[in-house]
Structure 1
Amino acid sequence: MLRTFLAVYRAGSLTGAAPSLGLSQPTVTAQVRTLEDELGRQLFVRGARGVTPTPAADELAARIAPHIDALSSVTVGDDPFASPVHLAGPAELTTLRVLPALAGLVASGLRLRVTFGLADDLLAGLAQRRFDLVVSTIRPRGRGFAATPLTDEEFVLVGPRGFTGDPRTAPLVAYAEDLPIIRRYWRSVLGVRPPAGPAVVVPDLRGVLACVLAGFGVSVLPRYLCAAELASGSLVALLEPEEPPINTLFVVTRTEPCRAGPAAVRDALLADAARW
């Protein structure tokens, strides 16, 4: 029950703690209530968005956390991959860069579970202990995260082979309706806002790339994603600014001691990212 209590305390949610414990949410709730009955003290105040620890919970967590964490490390033993590592990140970078970097660990016994999504959602999942580490396109806020810069992605304005028009008036192929990447490029490089709406919206940058190659229009893509097409000439860079827009990506864990498996994944990514 103490391990369950600590997981709920750290996750800030009964539901969020359940996956890391391998328990159902009702079981977690029952164990917390049993512990409260045994101690004769309320540990959490239930709310619509989770639970808030009481001063009694703060005191208990401070007393037991070092011992529970030490016991967990003994339970795992010498096998750093005894439990699956839950990794989350953007679909495109995770597929093309992150997963290939982990091939050696998988060959050594790493069991990996991968989730794709947007940064805000994935960081919320990390806080709720649904993930062990997240590759994030934004620097997380809050003291509960430990973020290490992983790599910089450079953005390039691209069009299909033979494109000769004005990219400022060409049809736009976008990742989302509000043109998140295109809008930034237009403002920083062209000094104007992009047109009101895209011609095509595909919620995956690999799909955006396919549409541009097929001649749908122009778009802004991370250079790593389209480097082969640029080299072959099937895609052309329409501008080459002296200072192209870039975005820093981070590998993020919780600030609590990191298990050996997630730590090995983090270290492998940081080592491999030097060549990205």
Structure 2
Amino acid sequence: MSRVGIEQIRTFLAVYQLGSISRAADRLGLSQPTVNAQLTALEKGVGRALFVRGPRGLKALPAACHLAEGAGPRLEALEQFIRGSIAFTGAPGMLLTVGGPADLTTTLVLPTLAGCRESGTAIRAVFGTDEQLIDLLTDGCVDLAITMRRPSVPGLRAVALLEEEFILVGKLDSMSAEVADDANLLARNTLPAVACEADLSMVRRYWTAVFGRALDEDLMMVVPDTRSAVEALRRGGSVGILPHYMVAEAVGRGELAVLCSTVKLPSNPIFLVDRGEHMPAHIAGTRDQLLMAAKAWDLESLVSAVSGVRDGRVDILRRDLRHFQ
């Protein structure tokens, strides 16, 4: 089944209730060709005809009745929610919804956007996969989306927001100094490696590229998300490969150490996506604010913000693996 948009459902419900494309067009303020095109696209999306066209108008088929019974109340509830959200801001058009992956959005984006409340903009956040977020952005349910890949949907604009680096970190007091400073010993270390389910391929790739051997997955602790992984590292004797923004606070506080700062770490681009140049001022301003803030979202800047170190490199990042081969 093809993707079905909210506007298609709204148009379908008007046609279903009025039994006429022309009357539905008048109610919705659309042209008849537009209504007909949306109805045709919806029928193609659901894979079956919804109406029989006759001399007296349209006759709803059973599939249309079933769709109207299910979609009608849900669309009404959604519209009531949106109206209530706008009323919450005290001014129409001043609600901003941003979507992104849960860990990055919680750690970096929402603290940055907290300042928007001072300008009268209410912030709402939704979490999801790239596909879910792009669908929400296309349907107008999200104003800005943060994705792990550049979307190819026409009408959407994507710019690079930051590079997500994967950092090898560990708790120094859980291993000897000899192990912590020697890549070969670290690779053979029997401490469990902590990894997030979504990043397992990156961990395997890193271990093979850096240490020249496969990771012993019998010694791996796999957790649902990166926040759980960071907590496991802080509390136990482990090593882990995690996104830099997730470990920066623990590194800045001295709870974790970067174990392999000399190695070129793998990275993934992260994108900020919107619906193009013509957008309300509060959305455009928030977009600019995120792009400006992201300039300080590299590991060293984030660690400095926590530790208070401002002059040169952060001490904890000077740790090199002296015998790295």
TM over 0.5: yes
Amino acid at match of 2:4: S
Where relative contact order (Cα < 8 A, 6+ residues apart) is larger, the structure is 1
CA–CA separation in structure 2 for the residues paired with 1:123 and 1:197: 37
Question: Are residue 37 (structure 1) and residue 21 (structure 2) matched?
Answer: yes
Instruction: Indicate the SS of the match to 2:187.
Output: coil
Which residue of structure 1 lines up, in the alignment, with residue 193 of structure 2?
A: 172
Say if 2:137 is the partner of 1:126. yes
Taking every aligned residue pair, what percent have the same amino acid on both sides? Answer: 31
Q: Which amino acid aligns with 2:107?
A: L
Q: Does the CA-based 8 Å contact 1:126-1:253 persist in structure 2?
A: yes
Q: Output the TM-score relative to the length of structure 1.
A: 0.71
Greater displacement, 187-196 / 226-235? 187-196
Q: How far off its partner does 1:191 sit?
A: 4.4
Is the contact between residue 4 and residue 45 of structure 2 (CA under 8 Å) also seen in structure 1? Answer: no
Judged with a 3 Å threshold, the aligned counterparts in structure 2 of structure 1 residues 80 and 168 are, in CA distance, closer, same or farther, namely farther
Could you list the per-position Cα deviations for residues 19-61 of structure 1 after superposition, in whole angstroms to 9, with x for gaps in the alignment? xxxxxx5x5422256596213783123134699xxxxxxxxxx
| Change over 3 Å in CA distance of 1:50–1:202 after alignment to 2 | farther
> Between Structure 1 and Structure 2, which shows a larger proportion of helix residues?
2
Aligned partner of 2:159 in structure 1 is: 148
Q: Which sits farther off after the overlay, 219-228 or 31-40?
A: 31-40
The one-character-per-residue Cα deviations of 1:105-139 (angstroms, maximum 9, x if unpaired) are 21111111101223233223222332111111222
Instruction: State the one-letter code of the partner of 2:137.
Output: L
CA contact (8 A) 2:100 2:133 kept: yes
Could you state the TM-score of these two structures normalised by the residue count of structure 2? 0.61
Equivalenced residues, count: 232
| Secondary structure of the corresponding residue to residue 286 of structure 2 | helix
Task: Give 1:159's match in structure 2, choosing from 155, 167, 170.
Answer: 170
For residue 240 of structure 2, the aligned residue among 212, 219, 232 is 219
Q: Is the CA contact (8 Å cut-off) linking 2:170 and 2:233 kept in structure 1?
A: yes
What letter corresponds to residue 187 of structure 2 in structure 1? R
Q: Give the structure with higher Rg (CA).
A: 2
Could you say which residue in structure 1 is the equivalent of 2:255? 234
Gaps of 5+ in 2: 23-31, 49-85, 180-184, 298-325
| RMSD (Å) for aligned C-alpha atoms | 3.2
1:241–1:191 Cα change, 3 Å: farther
Partner of 1:69: none
Take 2:241 and 2:290, find their aligned partners in 1: how far apart are those partners?
Answer: 25
Q: Which amino acid aligns with 2:12?
A: T
